[in-house]
Chains A and B, each alone.
Chain A
């Protein structure tokens, strides 16, 4: 016998769900991938952009990213876009018509639901988009399935010539597990074929296609019934059978290893016959789904008896801990008090809400806003939403991307006597402004609103990790790109040139003066701040500061800045000549964290804050252990 060839075993990778999707996008021969950053989906495009094999972009918003993907699909390329759950609300207009036109090159849309709301303004169940748009959906339960289903989604998209939704949740996106990748495939675009009856959606062309869409849905349902991604997992304990999908499947298997389970991986259109098969073999059926009772209601409508949200929680993530009592209730067992007798009681510890970073340029903005009286402050989505918190309490609303503009105008136009003496201010970041805010500003100028807009340009999509946008002068790869001029843009949107100011947010008196003047002017004005996010490369730390103990009077003015590098060393009280007792807080500055922005120096009356001159200027922005 000759020498055996070395066995080539494909190496197992350790990937998050997001990383697995990204790898599958590359391996599937995808040509165009686009996204707008949003937790928990952001890392998908970041990872895809590291591959040299395909075109990737940060789009200005999710709707544009989906349109870019559709255009690529029209010319026959495989295309992909990713977004968080609320992003699909923005992209929905495009989605609801591309389901009618269908697609050519495989088109996969990853939508990541923030179940449990770790970093979102609401909790949505994106499975409804599949039902609403009559499109197929995959729901992976771990990183391996994220890879496999992304690959399968491209194939399914081409087989049925329609977009395919890939529904992820935080507990998929950010969970790492072992992944075995498949072979890469090449996919050459076939070329655009002019076909107005398919691509020009005027009523006459759309009507016949809507009928085709329903035919397609029937065929997709039949395909789901045959799909290996919808396995019926056998089990010996037939008291309760489970219908479940996504991460909830893992919790079910972990908690009830002997129960029969229908795992919905290719979950829409719902393979009802599979469910009936399971239902016939068990005493009771329980639907375990995050977060809405979508499958449950479908089963009930189809006459299949089941339990679901009547025993399971309606809000937030499911877990083995939340499943056990629900199933006990279903079985009619009294939920045993001894179920968790040996567990420790959670200890009460102060909350640790997210804070703005040391030296964040937004600190000066909110310090100033907190000093001004009679303001109504319409806020937006980004790091600066944190201005609603302590110690500033200087943000009154936060709804959706760009909403600060329209909400501010509505407050201005709708106000009565109660708000007559108040000024309306809108606060929005650079990327959010370009995403959805600028149309709102156009509405303000066109309709002669009286709103002062603070446009906080920190040259990054800060909250999601400092991604680039058209205002940064860089593309997704960090390469030089055309940079939008915010002052000119605002002028083009109708704001008078003399009402546009570009300011340094670290100069508190200048900022205060500009704001006080502009809120008095009864027309739209825009104050643009121009210092970078402290977490991106553009930020230049300078000499840190320290507090001279003997000079600190405990006035605590510096604490109003809200910088996490300022710490209280002791508290005290002082009796004023007026007889009033005043609380004192003496402070120190964590010099290793301070980067010398100088904001706290400005309100310090006794001039107790001076440069520390350390031996090694420290560049790290976060407290380290």
Chain B
């Protein structure tokens, strides 16, 4: 069996690292060798965060090379575009439509891309996009966006969605039991969002 490469991207504070950690726990529970790496030096200050997860029988280098990711998960639309080249040609991207506009764009030094998701599709990628923030707010808590993203990934993994769901519930349920049901719902909303989205390339 080969190595599965998953790249997760977003900005500091969005929960990229926590989401990847939970994904790692799911893979570990099946007995895979797992490595997870990120470079997030100053990400706490609103910078770019990318997290790489590799799992399989034996993982050596922790880094995914450009063109080798099986799955790209974008917590922010422009960040997904920034890292689109990590994907294998024709690879699958799961992208939150939400936009986080940095001060350098607000003060007019740079432009935010008009439609980053359409731009990704033009590259021939299968992009499933959805509004994770809106789905989280349906449940009344924007912090559930992280679980929505995990639910969105769950049918795109080389193991059953339930393995990831168990890892999510184990993590969030252990900390705050009252959040267990909300996380379960958020997970299913993310799952359904991808099932309904059209990946059509342009």
A residues within 8 Å of B by Cβ?
14, 39-40, 114, 116, 118-120, 142, 170-171, 174-178, 247, 250-251, 253-255, 319-321, 340, 342-347, 349-357, 383, 386, 390-391, 463, 465, 535, 556, 559, 562-564, 566-568, 571, 583, 585, 587, 592, 620-625
Contact = CB atoms under 8 A, between A and B. Distances in A.
Nearest to A625: B145
A354 B28 contact: no
Interface of B: 10-15, 21, 24-25, 28, 33-48, 59-63, 65-67, 75-76, 78-79, 81-82, 84-85, 87, 89, 96, 98, 100-113, 116, 119, 123, 125, 132-133, 136, 142-143, 145-146, 149
Contact of B66 (A171, A175, A178, A321): A321
Nearest to B43: A354
A344 B85 contact: yes
Nearest to B16: A625
Contact of A254 (B21, B60, B78, B82): B60
For the residues of A in contact with B, the DSSP-based class is loop
Contacts of A347: 81-82, 84-85, 119, 123
Q: Which of A320, A349, A351, A571 has most chain B Cβ within 10 Å? A: A349
A625 B98 contact: yes
Given A343-B66, A535-B44, A624-B13, A350 B34 contact: no
A14 B24 contact: yes
A559 B96 CA distance: 27
B78 A350 contact: yes
A592 B37 contact: no
Contacts of A175: 35-37, 62
Contact of B40 (A174, A254, A353, A620): A174
Given A347-B82, A620-B143, A625-B10, 19 more contacts: A142-B62, A174-B39, A176-B37, A255-B61, A319-B65, A340-B67, A347-B123, A349-B116, A350-B102, A463-B44, A535-B44, A564-B103, A568-B107, A622-B12, A622-B13, A622-B46, A623-B11, A624-B15, A625-B75
A350 B110 contact: yes
Given A352-B46, A357-B45, A564-B102, A345 B149 contact: no
B23 to A, nearest CB: 12
A243 to B, nearest CB: 17
A14 B59 CA distance: 14
A40 B43 CA distance: 13
B57 to A, nearest CB: 12
A353 B96 contact: no
For the residues of B in contact with A, the DSSP-based class is mixed
Q: Which of A253, A350, A386 has most chain B Cβ within 10 Å? A: A350
A171 B62 contact: yes
Contacts of B38: 174
Nearest to B13: A622
B103 A354 contact: no
B136 A625 contact: yes
Contacts of A564: 46, 102-103
B35 A177 contact: yes
Nearest to A114: B41
Contacts of B65: 319-321
Contact of A624 (B14, B60, B63, B85): B14
Contact of B87 (A40, A178, A344, A350): A344
13 contacts: A174-B37, A175-B36, A247-B62, A253-B61, A254-B61, A319-B63, A342-B67, A343-B85, A354-B43, A354-B45, A568-B105, A592-B142, A624-B13
Given A14-B28, A254-B60, A355-B46, A350 B111 contact: yes
Contact of A349 (B43, B62, B82): B82
B39 A350 contact: no
Q: Would you list the 8 A-B pairs with minimal beta carbon distance, nearest first?
A: A622-B13, A118-B41, A119-B41, A354-B45, A350-B110, A354-B42, A625-B145, A343-B67
Given A321-B66, A347-B84, A14 B104 contact: no
A253 B98 CA distance: 39
Given A175-B37, A625-B146, A353 B104 contact: yes
B10 A571 contact: no
A387 to B, nearest CB: 12
Nearest to A385: B42
B61 to A, nearest CB: 4
B45 A251 contact: no
Contacts of A622: 12-14, 46
B11 A119 contact: no
Nearest to A14: B28
Contacts of A118: 39-42
Contacts of B45: 354-357, 383, 386, 463
Contacts of B35: 142, 175-177
B46 A465 contact: no
A390 B109 contact: yes
Contacts of B66: 321, 343-344, 346
Nearest to A119: B41
Nearest to A360: B45
B47 A354 contact: yes
A171 B37 contact: yes
B85 A39 contact: no
Contact of A566 (B39, B75, B96, B106): B106
A170 B48 CA distance: 16
A250 B60 contact: yes
A120 B41 CA distance: 9
A562 B109 CA distance: 13
B107 A625 contact: no
A253 B61 CA distance: 8
A556 B89 CA distance: 43
A62 B24 CA distance: 34
A118 to B, nearest CB: 3
Given A175-B62, A176-B36, A624-B145, A352 B104 contact: yes
Nearest to A563: B103
Contacts of B25: 14
A118 B48 CA distance: 11
Contacts of A171: 37, 62-63
Contacts of A351: 104, 110
Contacts of A170: 39, 41
A558 to B, nearest CB: 10
A176 B112 CA distance: 33
A444 B112 CA distance: 46
